[in-house]
Each structure stands twice: as C-alpha cells, then as structure tokens.
Homo-oligomer: A and B are copies of this chain.
Amino acid sequence: MAYFEFEGKQVYYEVHGEKGEPLVILNGIMMSTLSWKPFVKEYSKNNVLILVDFLDQGRSDRMTESYDHSIQVRLVDALVDQLPYDKVSIMGISYGGEVAVQYAVHHPERVRRLVLANTAARTSSWLRKIGDGWNEVAKHKDGFAYYLTTIPVIYSTEFFEKNWAWMEGREKTLTAYFSREDVLESLIRLTDSSRDYDYVDKLHKITCPTLVISSSEDALVPPTEQIILHENIKHSTYVTINGSGHASMYEKPYAFSALVLGFVNLGDEGISI
C-alpha cells in the first residue's frame, strides 16, 4: 500500500493493524507480500504487521545486475529505519530467514524477537547446486519446466496428495508467471544472490530470543540446517512442524501461525522456572 525509496529503487511494503508488537515478515524467494493475504487479518489483530517485497520481488523494483544478500539486508535496515519503532520482531522464512539472520547479526539492537522458519545459516554447497539447477533451467525460458523444478519440491508428499486441486491451480498460475522473461530474470538474480551466504560463525552476535522452526519433510532446507541455527544462537528455542514440507506456512497454517504469533507476543520479562 506504500513505497519507499531505497538506493534509487522503489520498495513496496504494507502496514496492517494498529496496535501490538510490530512484526516484519520477510518472504521466501518465490513469494511476495501477496503470499500473506490469507494471514493478514489474523496477524494484524494483535500486532502491527509489516510486509515487504524484496528487490526483484512482487511490486518492488526489478534489478538489472547481479547482487548478493547484502542489498536486501540494507533494504530491511532502511525499512526498519523509517518505521516508528525502536525495535521490531522479524519472521523470515527460507530466503527471508537468511536475510533476517544477517539483519539480526548486524543490528541486534533493533530486533526484539526473531523467528527463523525453514531457513539456514549458510548456503551449503548442496543448496548452491540446487539453485544452479533452477537457474540453468530458467535459461531455457520454459515456465512449465521451471515450475516443475522449483515448486513441487517445496511441498510434502502428504500435502500434494491432499491438496491436489489447489496444487493444480498453483501450477497453472505459476507456470504462466514463470513464462514471463522478466520474472525469470528476477528469479535468477534472487537465487544467485544466495550463493556465497555463510553466517555460521556470526550467529553468536544474535542476542534476542529466537525461535527456530523446522518442517519434518522439508526437502529443500532440511532440519540439519536449522540445528546449526539453534546450536549457535544463544537464546534460541527449536520446534518442528510435523508432516510439513518447506512451505510450512501454507501446509500447516495453524501450527505455523500459533508459533509465530505466540512467540512474538510473549512478554519481555520471560518465564523463569
């Protein structure tokens, strides 16, 4: 519903709700502010919800040259700077979690709570190859091949079986979307921007209470990666959403939302047994 200028680019963001702890949500690579539509009402009931499109994502400006995560981290910094809060809570899923980790490392004083869902502290050499595969397929400008290569893998077998019609709808919509050359170029750049990410050794700089979320069936960023986050972030707690693939917010919206909103809305005094 609004744009702000950032390094010469227009960044799209939305603010929903009027009271409660502010919660900034950072998207996965194939998502946008639109992806959160089913969640907005619930998430803005007791919180001020801030959604944002990264560069090359949704309604934010496209880039033209390659970049790495750091520009998205600066974008988050600029976004937080212009919000009227000393601190915000941040939930990042997948790509958004990677950016959230880096923002929390560099600006620990601005982050009240951190929720890291289906994400990692690094792009492993394995994940880099998976991303290279997406980009190699993208070069053929075949939206259907790109859809089949990138989307089914983020859902669990069980979800696929149970939500066949919904997945068919996604296939139609996304195949059309991925058939646009500008979209594929953005996705190539976004994917490439993760290539050199490795913050394992910097996780100790995160100081806020942090919730790490795994999905039991995440084939893209498996629990072994979330364990690295949990073991290296001091005040972290770690849960698993069972029976879910990578897209946990879609597969298990109740469990996902209970965790995110419940964690963000716990008071600052904590619970000492």
Contacts and interface: CB of A to CB of B under 8 A. Distances in A.
Given A149-B149, A262-B262, A269 B41 contact: yes
A136 B148 contact: yes
Chain A interface main SS type: helix
Given A255-B237, A257-B266, A262-B257, A140 B132 contact: no
Nearest to A166: B273
Contact of A124 (B157, B230, B272): B157
A140 B13 CA distance: 38
A126 B140 contact: no
Contacts of A273: 38, 166, 250, 253
Given A136-B148, A209-B254, A261-B266, 5 more contacts: A129-B152, A133-B152, A136-B145, A137-B140, A217-B222
Interface of A: 38-39, 41-42, 45-46, 124-127, 129-130, 132-133, 136-137, 139-140, 142, 144-145, 148-149, 152-153, 155-158, 160-161, 164, 166-167, 209, 211, 214, 216-217, 219-220, 222, 224-225, 230, 237-243, 250, 252-255, 257-263, 265-267, 269-273
